[in-house]
């Protein structure tokens, strides 16, 4: 069972373990964003054997020192490895201390510097949850706040009925900020999304309440979405799909019940015929009894003679 489940995950493109992300550092000024705890493979060069000597610095400290295919030293050897054949430097279990500016220095046979390239590695925590809070204001309108946990450098965006919120629909605030105040006449399904360079999470949103119906009464709503929960918004397509799916299930169940009843009936008929056949063969009457009487009469006639 576990083997079948593993094969299914492989076919679906799902793998266990830590994900490895690749970043091309062969261009000067490359920027890489990676999540905490995962691994990264940094492509520093095509082939180290073509370089007489190379050094890789992090914030003015030599991390890697090598000559062609030979790695002379690696300051991060406990958490990293370097492959000279393809020029990939791999760092496992990324931490915040791994972030920073890395610089590659390469030299020719005469010791003269060939190239100088820099790479900026940024480590971020992904968005783990989003909290959406709305509040009716006494003067009309609605204040809405969107906050997140865990994310480094979060960016916020708003949609109303699936369309990007416009400045004309706001009483105050910015559509790219996490706190906005909507005009009183704005209605629809409001959603908030929080993202950074490595992750994105959206709330299920909620239908805006007409605050004027409460005559200034304070009203607030809270909606929390985390990485352990999700929601789907029903549409006409999904409803139709659900109905079709239910009809299919009912049809299959009816077919199974029909097959079971047919099998029971066939078994009953077969057993009844078998019983009648066995009963008929065991009866004392019939041709055997008549033959016995004839034989007795023949023996009686012979004795008289």
Could you read off the pLDDT of 239-251 as tens digits, one per residue? 333 334 444 554 6
> Could you tell me if residue 100 is inside a domain?
yes
At residue 169, does pLDDT exceed 80? Answer: yes
Same domain, yes or no, for 102 and 176? no
The pLDDT value recorded for residue 259 is 76
Poorest-pLDDT segment among 43-52, 107-116, 223-232, 251-260 = 223-232
CB 64 within 8 A of CB 87: no
Distance CA 156, CA 196 (A): 9
Same domain, yes or no, for 120 and 134? no
Sign of the CA dihedral with 38 first, then 44, 45, and 51 last? negative
At residue 55, does pLDDT exceed 90? Answer: yes
Distance CA 302, CA 125 (A): 117
The pLDDT value recorded for residue 105 is 93
> Could you tell me if residue 112 is inside a domain?
yes
CA 213 to chain centre: 41
Same domain, yes or no, for 80 and 153? no
CB 140 within 8 A of CB 211: yes
Greater pLDDT, 202 or 216: 202
**What are the beta bridge partners of residue 146?**
132
Distance CA 159, CA 189 (A): 8
Give the end of a domain, one of 60, 94, 124. Answer: 124
User: Integer distance in angstroms from the first to the last C-alpha of the chain?
Assistant: 88
Same domain, yes or no, for 55 and 120? yes
Q: Give residue for tokens 């029909």.
A: 258
> Could you tell me if residue 281 is inside a domain?
no
Residues spanned by the domain of 95 = 17-124
At residue 80, does pLDDT exceed 90? Answer: yes
Same domain, yes or no, for 68 and 89? yes
Give the end of a domain, one of 89, 106, 124. Answer: 124
Same domain, yes or no, for 88 and 27? yes
Q: How many domains does the chain have?
A: 2
Distance CA 25, CA 45 (A): 8
Distance CA 114, CA 255 (A): 76
What's the whole-number average pLDDT of the chain?
Answer: 74
Predicted confidence band at 94 (pLDDT cuts at 50, 70, 90)?
Answer: very high
Query: Which DSSP state fits 79?
Result: T
The percent of residues in the chain predicted with pLDDT above 90, rounded, is: 28
> Could you tell me if residue 240 is inside a domain?
no
Greater pLDDT, 52 or 110: 52
Distance CA 74, CA 66 (A): 9
> Could you tell me if residue 116 is inside a domain?
yes
Average pLDDT over residues 48-75: 91
Same domain, yes or no, for 117 and 21? yes
Phi first, then psi: what are they for 202, rounded to 5°? -120, 150
The percent of residues in the chain predicted with pLDDT above 70, rounded, is: 68
Same domain, yes or no, for 133 and 119? no
The pLDDT value recorded for residue 110 is 79
Read off the pLDDT of residues 176-198 as tens digits, 9 standing for 90 and up: 889 999 888 888 888 889 999 99
Torsion of CA 156, 161, 163, 168, to 10 degrees: -80
**What are the beta bridge partners of residue 71?**
66
Same domain, yes or no, for 56 and 115? yes
> Could you tell me if residue 199 is inside a domain?
yes
Same domain, yes or no, for 88 and 143? no
Residue 67 maps to which CATH number? 2.60.40.10
Query: Which DSSP state fits 126?
Result: P
Greater pLDDT, 276 or 79: 79
Same domain, yes or no, for 53 and 101? yes
Predicted confidence band at 73 (pLDDT cuts at 50, 70, 90)?
Answer: very high
SS3 173: strand
> Could you tell me if residue 298 is inside a domain?
no
> Could you tell me if residue 237 is inside a domain?
no
Poorest-pLDDT segment among 57-71, 125-139, 256-270, 289-303 = 289-303
Same domain, yes or no, for 103 and 199? no
């Amino acid at each position: 069972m576990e083997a079948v489940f593993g094969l299914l995950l492989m076919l679906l493109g799902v793998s266990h373990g830590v994900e490895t992300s690749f970043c091309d550092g062969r261009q000067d000024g490359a920027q890489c964003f990676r999540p905490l705890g995962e691994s990264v493979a940094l492509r520093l060069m095509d082939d180290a054997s073509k370089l007489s000597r190379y050094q890789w610095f992090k914030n003015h400290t030599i991390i890697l020192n090598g000559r062609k295919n030979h790695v002379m030293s690696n300051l991060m050897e406990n958490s990293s490895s370097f492959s000279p054949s393809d020029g990939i430097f791999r760092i496992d279990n990324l931490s915040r201390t791994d972030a920073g500016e890395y610089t590659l220095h390469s030299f020719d046979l005469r010791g003269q510097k060939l190239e100088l390239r820099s790479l900026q590695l940024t480590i971020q925590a992904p968005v783990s949850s989003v909290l959406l809070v709305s509040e009716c204001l006494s003067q009309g309108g609605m204040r809405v706040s969107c906050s997140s946990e865990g994310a480094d450098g979060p960016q916020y965006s708003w949609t109303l009925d699936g369309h990007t919120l416009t400045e004309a629909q706001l009483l105050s605030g910015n559509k790219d900020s996490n706190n906005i105040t909507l005009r009183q006449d704005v209605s629809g399904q409001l959603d908030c999304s929080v993202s950074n360079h490595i992750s994105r999470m959206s709330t299920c949103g909620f239908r805006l309440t007409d605050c004027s119906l409460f005559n200034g009464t304070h009203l607030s709503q809270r909606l929390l979405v985390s990485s352990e929960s999700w929601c789907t918004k029903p549409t006409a397509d999904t409803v139709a799909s659900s109905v079709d799916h239910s009809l299919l299930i009912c049809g299959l169940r009816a077919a199974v019940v029909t097959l079971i009843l047919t099998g029971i009936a066939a078994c009953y008929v077969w057993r009844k015929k078998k019983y009648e056949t066995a009963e008929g063969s065991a009866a004392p009457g019939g041709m055997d009894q008549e033959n016995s009487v004839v034989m007795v009469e023949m023996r009686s006639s012979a004795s008289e003679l």
